[in-house]
Amino acid sequence: MLKPENTQLAPDGQPFEQVTLQNAAGATATFMDWGATWLSFTLPLADGTTRELLLGCQSPHDYMNQSAYLGATVGRYANRIARAQFEIEGKPHLVVANQGVHQLHGGPEGFHARRWKILSQSTQKVSFQLFSADGDQGFPGNMTATVHYQLTDDNRLEIRYDATVDKLCPVNLTNHAYFNLDGEGTDARQHKLQLFADRFLPVDSDGIPCADPTTVENTGMNFNAPKTLAKDFLSDRDQQRVKGYDHAYLLNRTCNSGEFPAAHLWSADGKVQMTVFTSAPALQLYSGNFLGGTPNRTGGEYASYSGVALESEFLPDSPNHATWPQPSCWIKPGQTYKSATTYQFFPL
């Protein structure tokens, strides 16, 4: 179902367009073309009620007044690039900084802040495409990026990305959805998480990597066994630097095929489970440390820690760390960047 939001105009002066997918089970997933943003996921529960599982705003226009990247497709390079620079053929190359001296999520006018073209849509699928010109936010080469969303009858939201470039460029696309499986107005740190990763990436107070991938063993960063986010919250210096969890986890190699789960997340009330599958090498766990003040669905504001993000990606600042144990984030002309992530929801 395609519907223009006629009452409000996007920054380019044109209406926002929304697409709602629905499956046979009655679950819905809603998206808009601005930022190829995932707006909503509603799941019928075992007791017959329906629950909203994503954080979101009251109207499309409210998404222009928040800096949490709620549900947005982010790129060209998701997460941080230290000092907003990397080297190409031995020469420094600058991109546009938007977090102090660093770049976050592709720059101030990154893919989250663009109108994507709706390529195709049906009852359970929608595809968006964006052209990014040479020099956009400082990145080299012309790039065409496509994101495909599909809602399956077993409540899987499948996201597939592909992109091509005509100059060597680092590429890292992800979706920045925040989940609260209990619904709105609760502290998401009461969710239970299992994350299949033996190593995480330590960061400084700016979120910039300050060490190589490090074992989670004997730290509060360890989610190999299920536990609530609250259990070891702020127990490590790594968390204290960024006011909670905001760290990339290097997934165990069995996860990257997309066949075996990368993570499970459970609502505090035990009524919903979410399982994440991905082909990406890492998941960024973000506990919503700076969500406070973000507009919510009812006209109010979210508190910090109202949602959990599990973003599939390359490790942050990967363009500057060729030796890290993951595939290269650099795409050459003639190659196609591909990444796939699935969020599956289970009423319990």
Catalytic residue among 158, 184, 311, 313: 311
Nearest to 149 by CA among 41, 292, 62: 41
10 Å Cβ neighbour count for 224?
13
Q: Which residues of 318-339 are buried (b: 16+ CB within 10 A; e: fewer)?
A: bbbbeebebeebbbeeeeebeb
| Residue 311 appears among annotated catalytic residues | yes
Edge-to-edge strand ranges of the sheet holding 337-347: 117-121, 125-132, 143-151, 156-165, 337-347, 272-278, 263-266, 192-195, 227-228
Catalytic residue among 176, 247, 264, 321: 176
Whether 194 contacts 62, CB under 8 Å: no
| Residue 176 appears among annotated catalytic residues | yes
Nearest to 195 by CA among 283, 286, 314, 269: 283
Alpha-carbon distance of 258 to 180, in angstroms, equals 23
Q: Which positions are annotated as active-site residues?
A: 176, 311
